[in-house]
Amino acid sequence: MSAISQPSARELFAPLNPPQRYLFGPGPTMVDPRVYQALSKPIVGHLDPYFIDMMQDVQELLKTAFGFKSGSTLVISGTGSAGMEASVANFVEPGAKFAVFANGYFSDRLTEMARRNGANVVRFEKAWGETFSDAEASDFIRREKPAVVGYVHAETSTGALQEGQAICAAAHDAGALVIADCVTSLGGLPVEFDRTAIDIAYSCTQKGLSCPPGLSPMALSPRAMDWLRARTTSPRSWYLDLKLIHDYSTVSHRYHHTAPISMFYALREALLVIAEEGIENRWERHRRFHRFFVREIEAMGLHMHVPASHRIPTLNTVLVPSGVDDGKVRKRLLEGPGIEIAGGFGPLAGKVFRIGVMGPLATEENLKFFLAEFKKALKAEGYSI
């Protein structure tokens, strides 16, 4: 009796052929073709002199994106949430008071990480999409006298932009460090790390930097570096210990972990693309097409969730019109022209579309294409424009 032949892996699994998508969501966003080319380059070892030099190129290029001259830039091997957790684990000691400006999902995530780290967390809470005035920020910090303050510069869940100068000034008056979530802002709009007087900032690669997800760039002020060097206890996370990562990437280059070589290639190329455009030109391009987007959206009779003075230029939250199912609109866009946008979640579930206009997609041609398809999808779901 002959044995029954089994299908081969090649027969069982189709060749890798991802669909073409237009990533107009909050992230990941479209990747520059030059970045894809960089990903295909041969890898070297994570202790190879070439990689060490290339990693230092990345750290230098990040300074312009952050608006940063002194202190240290680092890159965490992990997504933006790894940068968030590294910030908390290294600068919020167990038992320390951590004051959080809470107005969206990612300030809630920051809160949860701090609680798990044993911090005494106090929160100033507002509705999702609202921001904090200078006076409110100062009063909260003066009242609580925290050791560390955290806020989200550009809240991905709401589209709201929080200015940080008053937060940082009040925190420093109280002797506190400031952690800023810049995940959605870095590369697309000014972070102004030095001007704002942030101490610790973290971001990601897959939004304003137009790079695949996988790394978390960080910036640490001289004040933060001094605090880190003076810390006498070890953070609970060995992998995210910034003293060890800083030593590996900047000082001795002793082995700490195996860095994702190809992702560093990609980030370096993405930062070079930004440098060649000019960071201020890039910010202005995003502002210009944000204004264009809003004008066209309002001409369709739609409304924005966040007031004009506090909108994130790269991430738009458009209110879902009455009687329209946002999930069906998003499904039509994905299954038809291959456009991805996101819906709201938490208190904003079913209430907003989250539409990113970042990097390669922030052009008039791309926006006209998107707006025409968005209009068709809304009409098909019963919205009269």
pLDDT single digits (tens) 123-143: 999 999 999 999 999 999 999
Same fold, 22-28+278-380 and 33-275: no
Pairing of strands 200-202, 215-220: antiparallel
Domain extent listing, the chain:
22-28+278-380, 33-275
Residue 205: its pLDDT value, please? Answer: 98
Q: Looking at domain 33-275, which of 3.30.450.20, 3.20.20.80, 3.40.640.10, 1.10.150.20 is its CATH number?
A: 3.40.640.10
Q: Which helix (H) or strand (E) holds 219?
A: strand 215-220
Q: How far is residue 162's CA from residue 60's CA, in Å, rounded to a whole number?
A: 26
Residue 281: its pLDDT value, please? Answer: 98
pTM exceeds 0.85 for this model: yes
Residue 70: its pLDDT value, please? Answer: 87
Which residue, chain included where needed, has tokens 């997504």? 79
Q: How far is residue 325's CA from residue 382's CA, in Å, rounded to a whole number?
A: 9
Q: How far is residue 187's CA from residue 293's CA, in Å, rounded to a whole number?
A: 19
Residue 241: its pLDDT value, please? Answer: 98
Low-confidence ranges of the chain (pLDDT < 70): 1-3
Q: Looking at domain 22-28+278-380, which of 1.10.1200.10, 3.10.20.600, 3.90.1150.10, 3.40.50.2000 is its CATH number?
A: 3.90.1150.10
DSSP 132-145: --HHHHHHHHHHH-
Residue 4: its pLDDT value, please? Answer: 75
